[in-house]
Amino acid sequence: MSAPLLSVRGLDKKFGGLAAVQKVDMDLRPGVLTALVGPNGAGKTTLFNLITGNIEADSGEVLLDGASIRGRSPHHIARMGVARSFQDLRLFGRMTVRENVLAAIEHTAWLWQPGGRSARRAREAAVDQALERTGLTAQAGARAMDLAYAERKFLSVARILATGSRIWLLDEPASGLDVNSRARFVSLVRQAAAEGVTICLIEHNLDIVTELADRIAFLDRGAKLAEGEPQEILRDPELIGIYFGERRT
Amino acid sequence: MNRKDLGLGALLVVIGAITAFLNPLFLSTVNLLNMANLIGLFGIFSIGQGLIIITAGIDLSVGAMLALLGVVFVDLLVNYELFWPFAVLVVLVAGLLLGALHGVLVTRLGLQPFVVTLCGLLIYRGAARYYTQDGTMGFGYAGDLDTLTWLASGRSFGIPHPFLALLVVALVVGVLLHRSVFGRYLYAVGRNEEAARHSGIDTRAVVVGAYLLGGLLAGLSTVLLVFYTSSVSPSSFGNFYELYAIAAAVLGGCSLRGGEGSVLGIVLGTVLLQILQNLVNILGIPSSLNFAVMGSVILLGVLADQQFGRRKAALAGA
């Protein structure tokens, strides 16, 4: 088994008296797709927020390539190749689809991008490729706010795709997608994983989890209860019971 | 030129034509040059305000900043007899520092721009009045300021220097805003700060950059305005100028929600405000109605823009 690209060690976060994340350990390995599964309020999105620097952990470590990234700002972590999507997408609504993707990859300069025309062509090519892979080429000139919901979901993936990030953290990327869009999404994510991208996704649709995930980490009340192969986790009656609302004692 | 800028340009032509029809003096060279001078004086700090508004911020302290920097500037020239290029440099750097302070308070301490700059307004106005013990500061018998006076309030080819300064500032900031990466960052931060942050953009630095530029342009405006008025009365110098700047930016297409606006629009907004002021004078409307006329036109402009926007959205959705 290859060495983990991103590791979480003993990560802990409390909001007042509420333990949102409790001593979580997790490894994300290159090309391995890990699904974070658990009931609402399990701490899945909080775990993403801790990894990407949106909120600071009370204790524990986040290691990227073995080096700590805890305490780094979200834009630093993004530049280090850890990209994420949000449940509420957070696109630049009044910018075009192309500008949305371009904004995600133009972050290496203040006045002008280095590299002149060849670098600009490379960026344009990366945008074109990301739009083509996500099926948004025809909508390149449309404003993000004018897109249909599924298209906006794919735009959030296109923004990540174009950055060439090594790690994707996807927060409910397939929720609200119709059957066809869901199939396209599954194929897109599979292709990225096959290309060596390390993916961790939060998903409530267990069909998609079964279809995509190489591993599942099961969270409840901020703690990781189990981690393993999908068949192993999804056949555990106790975990499934918790997932569908039976409280553990 | 976008749709809003075109609309504003058309409105300027219509108002200008009506005013000229009612009083042909409107188009006299003297009146036009006087207006150009005022447009230059007000346009520069309005552009700074516009940059801050594009990041979804606001700067209520501009007018008070002009007063504080103004009294310091005159004091340096008159009482300390500092060589004028150094005095100008001090004022520009002081403007940058005040801008940096606002930016840091907004980004590092998470304070609301409205609150930070409202406090700035009160503090700077109070500091300016205390600095001069509420007295007016003038140039009196200050040493050789002929070159600076010519630079700040003279004319070249008949065109007032403040207007030429505005053209240069508009060109430089226009390139920065519409052609550089920093400009795209400003729009991105104003449109969705969190998305920008996760796109790898150092959003704090971008916001601080906007306030820095706002401060720098306020410093430059101070130098020009001091030579326009020839003296600085700390209780009235720059009063309400922040509202002129906000009005010019909003008229020019900047949304207070951030992420929208153009340098050309802000300049056109400034031109419209000055034409309205001029219209009040030239048409013999009581000067006490000055603000009421400006407020009414801004309100009508914003309402019209909103209606056009809704109609466009309805057509797009149809």
* pLDDT over 70 (residue B50): yes
Q: Which domains does chain A have, with CATH numbers?
A: 1-81+169-178+200-249 (3.40.50.300)
pLDDT digits (tens, 9 = 90+) for B75-110: 999 999 899 999 999 999 999 999 999 999 999 999
CB distance A103 to A92 below 8 Å = yes
Q: What is residue B117's DSSP assignment?
A: H
Q: Which positions 226-255 of B are in contact with A (Cβ < 8 Å)? A: none
pLDDT tens readout for residues B293-312 = 888 877 887 787 777 767 76
- Report chain A's terminal Cα–Cα distance, integer Å: 35
> Cβ contact (<8 Å) for B182 and A111?
yes
Residue A2 DSSP symbol: P
Rounded to the nearest 10 degrees, the angle between the axes of helix B161-179 and helix B181-191 is: 80
pLDDT category at B139 given cuts 50, 70, 90 is: confident
Quick one: which of A109, A96, A105 has its CA closest to A129? A105
What local confidence, expressed as pLDDT, does residue B195 receive? 84
Name the residue type at position A182: R
Residue B61 clears pLDDT 70, i.e. is over it: yes
Note whether B235 and B129 are within 8 A (CB).
yes
Q: Which residues of A touch B55 (CB under 8 A)?
A: none
Look at residue B313 in the predicted model and tell me its pLDDT.
Answer: 66
Instruction: Round to whole Å and give the CA distance between A127 and A159.
Output: 8
pLDDT band, very low/low/confident/very high, at B11 (cuts 50, 70, 90): confident
List pLDDT tens digits, range A163-219.
Answer: 999 999 999 988 888 989 999 999 999 999 999 999 999 988 888 888 899 999 999
166-195 of B, contacting A, C-beta below 8 A: 176, 180-182, 184, 187-188, 191-192, 194-195
Give tens-digit pLDDT for B245-265.
999 999 888 988 888 899 999
Q: How close is the nearest chain B Cα to the Cα of A221, in Å?
A: 26
State the average pLDDT for chain B: 91
Six-digit token string for A99: 């500008």
Query: What type of residue is A86?
Result: F
Cβ within 8 Å, pair A103-B201:
yes
Closest CA to A34 of A44, A46, A23: A44
Cβ–Cβ < 8 Å for A33, A214 = yes
Contacts (Cβ under 8 Å, ≥6 apart) of A162: A101, A104, A105, A126, A127, A129, A130
Minimum CA–CA partner of B259 in chain A: A94
ipTM above 0.85, yes or no: no
Question: What does the pLDDT read at residue B217?
Answer: 98
pLDDT at B47 > cutoff 60 = yes
Task: State residue A239's pLDDT score.
Answer: 80
Section B20-49 average pLDDT: 94
| pLDDT at residue number A2 | 79
Confirm or reject contact between A79 and chain B (CB < 8 A).
yes
* Segments of chain A scoring below 70 in pLDDT: 1, 107-109, 246-249
- Provide the pairing of β-strand B231-232 with B137-138: antiparallel
- Which of B182, B192, B197 has the CB atom closest to A110's CB atom? B182
Q: Which long-range contacts (CB under 8 A, 24 or more apart) does B80-86 make?
A: B81/B142, B81/B143, B84/B145, B84/B147, B84/B148
* Confidence check: pLDDT of B121 > 70: yes
pLDDT of residue A107: 62
- Residue B58 has a pLDDT of 96
CB atoms under 10 Å from CB of A104, counted, come to 29
pTM for this predicted structure: 0.84
Average pLDDT over residues B217-239: 95
